[in-house]
Amino acid sequence: MTDVAIRRRRGGRRGSHVLAHVVLGVGGVLMAFPFVWQILMSLSTNAEVQSVTPHFWPSELHWENYAVVFERLPFVSQLRTSVLITVIRTLAQILLCTLAGYAFARMRFFGRGYILGIVLSILMVPSQVYLISQYQIVQGLGWLNTLIGIVAPGLFSAFGTFLMYTAFQNLPDELEEAARLDGASPLRVFWNVMLPLVRPSINVLAILTALWSWNELLWPLVVTTYQENMPLSAGLATLVGDKNNTSYPVIMGASVMALAPILILFIALQRKVIDGLAFSGMK
């Protein structure tokens, strides 16, 4: 490369960096503004939130708004429900989807291809199609307004099975064969040899399941009727239009607390989350 070309290129790069920082900076601020504004409002008074000329910085920080959240809302029980749904579903999917994914990818059994095809065909069906019938089943089992009722359908996942199926399929044969020749049982081969090798895909599955479970609205809204039994996602939605809860700072405080766990988890694991979600696009 000639000196001129190098100089032109460097100059060009520096120029485009300024432009990139301006555009990305403005965009980034617009993206982050609602979150920052929400935190600021959660520390304001109701009058400040409703002032016609926005009062961006609260004149005094009203931390007590957060305490009021716990008085006005069954916040603790909703938080517990959200945490339990998320943890139970994530653990169940890791277990069930890795087991099934492994068998589909690496074992032979009658009808394997057809069964896998049927399971994967669910991926093309929008969730509304099974919602009514799932409601009937959960109602029939007497699980309406219970944790098990909210959790149940999400314990099983065609997407998770597909994810783990592809992960196991990409592994080499040698290790598995060696373990088998040593006389290890299939369960042992699966647990001690193969499972550790698909760790990255398990991370993706865990992150996505946690994210979707935490944020999910429609199903919890359908199976729960009392605020105490709802997860945070549905609990917050019921605050809209509730005439007894017009304190905006308190609603903002509750929202901030509902957002915080998943946002903190994301910022801590951002590389993995971003890669995982890019991969989830394949579904």
Partner 1 sequence: MSSAPARLRPARATRRGGAEAQARRRDGAWPWLFVLPLLIGIATFYLWPILQTFYFSFTEWGVFGGTTWTGIDNYARLVVDPKLYQSIGNTLLYTAIVLLGIPIAVVLATLLNTPGLRFAAVYRVLFFLPYIAMPTAVAMVWRIIFNGDFGVLNWVLSLVGIDGPYWTSTPGVALVAVAIVGLWSSLGFAIIVLGAGLKAIPPEYYEAAELDGASAWRRFTSITVPLLTPSIFFVTVVTTISSFQLFDLLYAILGSSNPIVPKSMSLVYFFYREGFTLGDKGYAAAIAMVILAIIGMATLVQFRLQRKWVVND
In the complex, what is the shortest distance from the CB of residue 96 to partner 1, in angstroms, rounded to a whole number? 5
Retrieve residue 78's tokens: 């909703």
Which residue number, 181 or 196, has a Cβ lying nearer to partner 1? Answer: 181
The correct pick among 23, 67, 76, 175 for binding partner 1 (CB under 8 A) is 23
Residue 251 CB, shortest distance to partner 1, in Å, is 5
| C-alpha separations of 190 from 63, 100, 114, 270 in Å | 51, 11, 23, 29
Looking at 59-67, 73-81, 97-105, 142-150, which segment touches partner 1 (CB under 8 A)? 97-105
Helix/strand/coil percentages in the chain, nearest 5: 75, 0, 25
In whole angstroms, what is the distance from residue 52 CA to residue 277 CA?
40
Provide the minimum distance between the beta carbon of 63 and partner 1 in the complex, in angstroms, as a whole number.
Answer: 19
Please tell me the distance from the alpha carbon of residue 212 to that of residue 47, in angstroms, as a whole number: 35
Q: Per CB under 8 A, which of residues 54..93 are in contact with partner 1?
A: 54
Q: What are phi and psi of 59, to 5 degrees?
A: -65, -25
Binders of partner 1 in range 101-160 (CB under 8 A): 102-104, 106-109, 112, 115, 118-119, 122, 124-137, 152-153, 155-156, 158
Number of residues located near partner 1, criterion CB under 8 A = 105
Q: Does 251 bind partner 1 (CB under 8 A)?
A: yes
CB 102 within 8 A of CB 190: yes
H helix or E strand, kind and range, residue 86: helix 75-106
CA angle 282, 116, 147 (to 5 degrees): 75
7 binds partner 1 (CB under 8 A): no
Asked if 41 interacts with partner 1 (CB under 8 A), we say yes
Candidates 57-65, 83-91, 191-199, 211-219: pick the segment binding partner 1 (CB under 8 A). 211-219
Q: How far is the CB of 34 from partner 1 (least distance, A)?
A: 5
Q: How far is the CB of 130 from partner 1 (least distance, A)?
A: 4
**Looking at 76, 263, 264, 268, which residue binds partner 1 (CB under 8 A)?**
263
187 touches partner 1 by CB under 8 A: yes
Toward partner 1, which CB reaches closer, 67 or 178?
Answer: 178
Nearest-approach distance from CB 42 to partner 1, in angstroms: 9
Compute the distance between CA of residue 262 and CA of residue 215 in angstroms, rounded to an integer.
9
CB of 210 to partner 1, least distance (A): 10
SS (H, E, C) 100-164: HHHHHHHCCCCCHHHHHHHHHHHHHCCCHHHHHHHHHHHHHCCCCCCHHHHHHHHHCCHHHHHHH
Q: Determine, following the binding rule CB under 8 A, whether residue 206 of this chain makes contact with partner 1.
A: no
